Amino acid sequence: MTEPGRDDGHTSFSHRKYSQNDSENLGARFRSARPNANRLRAHETGRLGLIDKARLRLDNRSFSFLMKERNFLSALLNTQLGTVPLLGRGKVRDLYAVDGALLLVATDRISAFDHVLGSGIPGKGKILTQISLFWFELLADIVPNHLITADVHEYPAELKPFADQLEGRSMLVKKAGMFPVECVARGYLAGSGWKEYCSFGTVCGISLPEGLQDGSRLPETLFTPATKSRDGMHDINISYEETEAIVGPEDAAELRRLTLAIYKRAAGHAESRGIILADTKFEFGRTGQGIILADEVLTPDSSRFWEGAAWKPGGPQPSFDKQYVRDYLESIHWNKQAPAPSLPPEVVERTQQKYVEAYRRLTGQSIEV
């Protein structure tokens, strides 16, 4: 199981002192993403809603070919914006410097267990961007955010030649001094939280009552901050006191307040759509205007979304996040070391469907990918 927005299995609780190096160098937050070319396999599974019409007309063999072509052609793994300065590539996002602002471009890369996988999920970057935009608006009265515009027509002229790559999957944002603390809210027990609870009766060092199960609702929402390991690859859970030591008591209190307030609003909205927001991760930054919500928000990459109607504590929950991909990777017994495997076409398709469904359920709108 995993941590929200953090590729699981590696998150650990530590009281190590925070190092300046962890925060100062934006480059250190990035590593060179080296997604392999999609390796596509010739079989299909029957979960192919988006091209069902084509399926009716094609025999299995030609359909498999069509699906291979489709994945190959439409997953954007790396952006190329000519001479626009590339600041770095995160696991999912490419970050460019534009006119004193930042251009965040969500690619179709997918990571799991801290590795970028060999296959992309076509349209994923668009879905993540559109979900974040939806939440930024819904949360605007609670916290200001980094968005300048996501309308490519309003982008600076130097980006015009790249409108096709950027449409729908990019945001021009205010450059913020990012807090070197990932702000996690947990409303339910899952992933490494569940494992820690089994061993110690705690989650991130916070004592919990006896008798909770995998998937149980927590008595109250927990703020469980984390910071990046020195190599920028793994997240390490830290205590509230360590958070205070890193960002100062005043900002720590504000980050906790904002995290819990946003979680409450978002969980309420999700519930109204039949979805449980089990946990999620936020990143905040500071600009001249104060603390703002940055990065991506409340996406299936950064959150656990569970099917409300099917919720039953006592095991893994049906979800609209990338748990499905992690489950697949566990099933093939990948050792979680590089090189990361590619995904078979049916896993790519099913994952895409889950992201599309998350968008549809959360926003009430449909999305073309």
Ligand X SMILES: Nc1ncnc2c1ncn2[C@@H]1O[C@H](COP(=O)(O)OP(=O)(O)OP(=O)(O)O)[C@@H](O)[C@H]1O
Give the footprint of ligand X on this chain (CB under 6 A): 5, 29, 90-93, 95, 102, 104, 146, 173-176, 178, 283, 285, 294-295
Minimum CB–partner distance for residue 362 and ligand X (Å): 19
Token reading at 33: 């993403």
Q: Which is nearer to ligand X, 123 or 345 (CB)?
A: 123
Q: How far apart are CA 256 and CA 245, in angstroms?
A: 14
Q: Which is nearer to ligand X, 132 or 342 (CB)?
A: 132
Contacts 24+ apart (CB under 8 A), 44-52: 44/345, 44/346, 45/346, 45/349, 45/350, 47/346, 47/349, 47/350, 47/353, 48/349, 49/353, 50/349, 50/352, 50/353, 50/369
- The residue number with the shortest CB distance to ligand X is 90
Minimum CB–partner distance for residue 280 and ligand X (Å): 12
Q: Which is nearer to ligand X, 179 or 306 (CB)?
A: 179
Minimum CB–partner distance for residue 292 and ligand X (Å): 7
Minimum CB–partner distance for residue 30 and ligand X (Å): 6
Q: Which is nearer to ligand X, 102 or 208 (CB)?
A: 102
Minimum CB–partner distance for residue 105 and ligand X (Å): 10
Q: Which is nearer to ligand X, 146 or 169 (CB)?
A: 146
The beta strand positions in the chain, using DSSP E, are 12-13, 86-89, 93-98, 101-106, 111-112, 115-116, 147-149, 170-173, 177-178, 183-188, 202-203, 206-207, 217-223, 226-228, 235-237, 275-287, 290-294, 303-307
> DSSP code of 145?
B
